[in-house]
Chains A and B, each alone.
Chain A
Amino acid sequence: MNIEINSKSYKIEKAVATLLEALIYIKENTEPTLGFDYGCKSGVCGACSVRVNGKEKLACSYNPQDGDRVEPLKYYPQKRDLIVDKASQKELLKRVKASLLNYNKEVLNTQDEVKTQVQSDCILCSSCYSACPVIEVNPLFAGPFALTKTYKYTIDKREGAVKEHIDVIQTDGVWDCTLCGECTLACPQGIDPKTDIINLRNISAQNGYTDPNFGNMSFGGGFGFDTNGGF
């Protein structure tokens, strides 16, 4: 089997179950200095996310095919080969205040657990971010993982400062999303950031915010406003 890494072809002369095994094979046999990142080998650390044939995949859970083209994630500065600098993740999370800001002593139940269960499965692999077409035109856009994290804290009954979360996602935040759903397709954990963003728009409206694009739209609804858009 042959795979291409950043346009260079490599031969894998061994049966491999995952792309990560193929990368390790190359490192052990032909190119020891090949740069790629990994940790858990079981889809829970998010370190090995790459793009295969233009789609985001975790190398440790993707079954490679002959002729696959492997590239680093988009938008993050490339360090070496498939390794990118994801340090800006932390800046984004800081900017959108993705943390419990003011603890309310509330007693949670099984329904509350279910409400944030999927969102809290996030492994910060940044597949959603790399798949997001909005970042291409607006690099300041908070993007899917940061907004999903914000949403998770916003709907947690323990959060006593919901508006503080909502206030910081109005600019380069919820209204910039086109609801294209690429993030949802890219997520290896089955998280649906698109719906989380729609829900954040509703919470924003409840807190007195309106879609800033609305005034500029000459057609009904517009993709920045229709909360059912895409369904």
Chain B
Amino acid sequence: MHKCDILVVGSGIAGLSSAIRAKAKGADVVIATKGVATKSNSVMAQGGMNVALGNIDSDSPKLHISDTLKSSHNLANKDMVSKLCNGGIDAIKFLEEIGVPFSRLDDASTPLKSIAQRALGGASAKRACYAQDYTGLKILHTLLDRAINLDIPIYERLFLLELIKNSDGEVCGGLFFNFDSGEIEPIYASKVIIATGGFGAIYSKNTNSATSTGDGLSAILRAGGELSNLEFVQFHPTTLKGSNILISESARGEGGYLVNCEGERFIDELSTRDKIAKAIFEQLKQNRQVFLDLRHIGKEKLMHLMPQELKLIKQYANTYATKELVAIEPAVHYTMGGASVNKQFEVVGLKNCYCIGEASNANVHGANRLGGNSLLEAVTFGLLGANEAVNATASKIEEQEFNYKLPIAKASDNLKILQAKKSLADTLFNQVGIVRDEQNLLKALKVIEELNIENLTINDSPKHSTLLIELLELQNASVLAKALIKSALWREESRGAHIRSDYPDEITEFEVNSTITL
């Protein structure tokens, strides 16, 4: 049995950043993760991390704050956005000093001034620090190298089932299913940091790692914590048609065009994602195929700045982006909502349970996240969240007996699990997609309730059962899907990424977060 000061659940960029900071502050920290760090959704982040270094254009945190607030459609909190944008300098310094191989500029006077920056949508300056188009991959692997070198224990293949609370109602650990042993095991901790990512992968067309199923959020909800703004699901405008492989916003940042089948440009390519996704949706509705046009940028520049994009476009669309148009469609990319947290990143309703990164709703993205602000949030709030957790008064650890029952039974239909997973995912994409209305939302809720996912069981040995993991994820997905639909029904207006065809206007009285508790 494990006991520690700080338990970090999740090993993406947010989780690793917070664990490294907590360790540096002397805490006994442990990471538990349902997969392995390299499989986290973080490695798929391509374009960059916004920090107002002003290395290319004139820029300032103040300008960054203003862009972020504007993109949020009045739903972000100014103090939290300031904390994010001002904290970026320390975050990028931290990454530079652990060896992240950023793309560079020549003849700079200081290490930070040497970091190359590019334009992303909604930004009034070239602000995104990048490592070619492998930014997430290179940050994550550098953090992982550091965590390993610091001897931070990383317990892999532990799936969070429930948060553990003491008799005072404070969170004091997590209960996990161990994929390798097939057993249930607790990890006790004085404080828990949830960094389990978003839930974009519960949709059928998404750019996320299959692991992004929001498991930490369902656990928070079941433990009595509050979630908010779940209805704000970001669609990325440019994913490869069919495979939904992400083509980074940097492709437009570096000058790429969006054109329809008649060769016409129909939107400012550097507008925010909510606006571009909606414009593409309108084109597709009129049966106009949409393409990304990179041909005019030039092969050499593309090879240098976007090697991964070229490879992906060739591999998954059999298209040479240097000389052909790339067929694209929007797909689910990021969930702006998550666990409601206070200014110390503590989850509303759960003492000593912190939440950082995409899993949290730290009130910095509001109704639409800016490209480049997610990596910034993961690192900055990862570091700041760890500071808060380390300084907080510890929960008393009370060991307990558990009789958690895994959904395993002899009489079961294993094939039903993946069918139900597909039905839920398709229902969300078709009825709870870019444009919603009451009728479709209610229909989706009914379909998901009828899937009766809570009562599904499998017949398999729990040890090394990926089917069991998929069922546990599906049960979490079902909880979140219903909460998402209820939030979308409540918000009778259109704002940012939440577009209601039956309520097309932004309405001042909805300038507040939607909240969900069980």
Contact = CB atoms under 8 A, between A and B. Distances in A.
Contacts of A167: none
A172 to B, nearest CB: 18
B108 interface: yes
B455 interface: no
Given A27-B418, A103-B97, A153-B99, A109 B209 contact: no
Given A33-B414, A98-B145, A156 B99 contact: yes
A33 B149 contact: no
A50 to B, nearest CB: 14
Contacts, number: 163
B102 interface: yes
A33 B467 contact: yes
Interface in A60-85: 61, 79-80, 83, 85
B36 interface: yes
B99 A99 contact: yes
Interface string A201-215: 000000000000000
Interface in A88-133: 90, 93-94, 97-101, 103, 105-110, 112-113, 116-117, 120-124
A74 to B, nearest CB: 19
Interface stretch (B37-45, B346-354, B436-444): B37-45
B35 interface: yes
Contacts of B134: 44, 120-121
Contact of B209 (A32, A40, A61, A93): A40
Given A32-B417, A32-B467, A94 B148 contact: yes
B418 A28 contact: yes
B102 A113 contact: yes
B198 to A, nearest CB: 14
A80 B146 CA distance: 30
A80 B38 contact: no
Contacts of B107: 109
Contact of B98 (A44, A79, A100): A100
Interface in B466-484: 466-467
Interface string A143-173: 0000001001100101100000000000000
Contact of A110 (B36, B105, B209): B105
B180 interface: yes
B104 A108 contact: yes
Given A47-B35, A98-B145, A40 B43 contact: yes
Given A44-B44, A47-B36, A120-B101, A109 B148 contact: no
Contact of A112 (B40, B104, B209, B210): B104
B104 A42 contact: no
Nearest to A122: B141
Contacts of B102: 108, 113
Contacts of B417: 32
B184 interface: no
B101 A43 contact: no
Task: Pick the 9 closest A-B CB pairs, nearest first.
Answer: A100-B99, A99-B149, A39-B39, A80-B464, A32-B414, A99-B145, A113-B104, A39-B209, A120-B101
Interface of B: 35-36, 38-41, 43-44, 96-99, 101-111, 113-114, 131-132, 134, 137-138, 141-142, 145-146, 148-149, 151, 154, 156, 180, 209-211, 243, 245-246, 308, 311-312, 315-316, 414-415, 417-419, 422, 458, 460, 464-467
8 contacts: A29-B415, A32-B467, A79-B464, A100-B97, A107-B114, A113-B103, A117-B132, A159-B99
Given A40-B43, A86-B36, 12 more contacts: A27-B418, A32-B414, A40-B39, A45-B209, A46-B38, A80-B465, A99-B99, A110-B106, A120-B101, A120-B131, A121-B137, A158-B96
